[in-house]
Structure 1
């Protein structure tokens, strides 16, 4: 066999397993360095583009499983295939404007009710804010998310958090949830879905007051509702007791008009219910684009602004008895 034929038929360095492993290791190292830059370096130069164009898709498609610490000091066991967990790994935060608003609201001895708690990002934050004299109730319908929620409560030593594996609704019933993709476990929903599903599960549902222990609703400084289209039913179930909330209680609801309509609900009905109980509506900025996170984390705190226009797109609304153009 001639030397030229040997060279033509032998694997080259560029395609050998050793070379491929080296390329993978180098890529992983660069992603780690880029993630550290986005997470820890001062300023925002280049972070938005790096996070959105390179790191976010890579960490989604090449999942990492780590225990990470958030900017508030909490610890979470994450799998970066999932959107929320990936952002915790990359930015140390999820929904930074909501987190900042909760820090401005909750103090020692307060109560917090987290409906749609997912893996516990805001429940754990609230537990740190309200201290041993406060109380936190984390309601999560998904059994898989509830298991992660419980793990994070234990991981952070949150003695004041009580978890509930159930769904909040306007009556007692059995609900079927669908998860379209494991890349966004926060999208578990009862909205009818015809596409391929990663998970389908049933869970008991009841009005929120029925899921809470005596005093948990009355002591709540903030009630957070994030239920992927079912917010109309949750608010209807809560409506009879809105008048009994503490005077400074505030309720934040992520409304998704299209999903609500698929369930026969409307944002207008929800707004009327809250207005009838003496609450004014505000809107808090929120953006899930990874490019929005570096400036959001490095900039001033955004406050909820009075909202008077129709709500036609997914929005984080804050309901308060305070009558102002912006919530302090």
Structure 2
């Protein structure tokens, strides 16, 4: 499993407990404060000692290298590679974003590290479009089973239509199916057109069937 935008590690720890002795979890967190808390939480649950979790202080994107990262001083979970626009500050008027440079990596950089990835959980505040671009090789190799991600019109506004088109190609090329995840944790299959028409923040599960 891969946790992209691991924050302080809540889901990373759950993944680490679920994968068992033979499983592995890779957690990405670019924010300096959250990364420290992530490592603390993983260590307190003995998951480093059990060799189940590896944590990287990097952001996931479409290229490996360095990019500007906007670190929220008040809401660290809102930190992002996407420069917030005026609409963001209409919602979060008291927030202050500090710009810093962070290392980036594509998910395809792991192409030789995993035979198969059961789940990629992605919560990166509008960076999803570029992160998906950076896992093309994994999808082509049918190395990914499911991707859970947030569809956030506020943060994705600059790439909303492009992301729709990209996901639509996955439906055609990889037989991808899309479900909304309800507040109760249930999955409800839906169409991309319906998801993107409402312009509401949704938690989405993309499932990719392995072709024989």
Same fold (TM over 0.5): yes
User: What 5-or-longer segments of structure 2 have no aligned partner?
Assistant: 90-94
| Separation of aligned partners in 2, 1:139 and 1:303 | 26
The corresponding residue for 1:128 is 17
Aligned residues: 193
The corresponding residue for 1:9 is none
| Separation of aligned partners in 2, 1:132 and 1:201 | 37
The corresponding residue for 1:185 is 76
Whichever structure has more helix as a proportion of its residues is 1
RMSD: 2.2
Give 1:132 shift: 1.5
Counterpart mapping for 1:138-149 below 5 A: 138-149=27-38
| Separation of aligned partners in 2, 1:254 and 1:188 | 14
Q: 1:281 to 1:174 in 2, by over 3 A?
A: same
Q: 1:213 to 1:277 in 2, by over 3 A?
A: closer
1:304 to 187, 192, 195: 187
Larger Rg: 1
Q: Is 1:214 aligned with 2:106? A: no
Give SS of 2:136's match. Answer: helix
Give 1:146 shift: 0.9
| Separation of aligned partners in 1, 2:133 and 2:58 | 17
Contact 1:113 1:222 in 2 (8 A): yes
User: What 5-or-longer segments of structure 1 have no aligned partner?
Assistant: 1-111, 287-295, 297-301, 323-328
Counterpart mapping for 1:283-298 below 5 A: 283-286=180-183
If the length of structure 1 is used for normalisation, what is the TM-score?
0.54
Q: Is 1:252 aligned with 2:148? A: yes
1:240 to 107, 132, 137: 137
Give SS of 2:105's match. Answer: strand
**RCO higher in 1 or 2 (8 Å CA, sep ≥ 6)?**
2
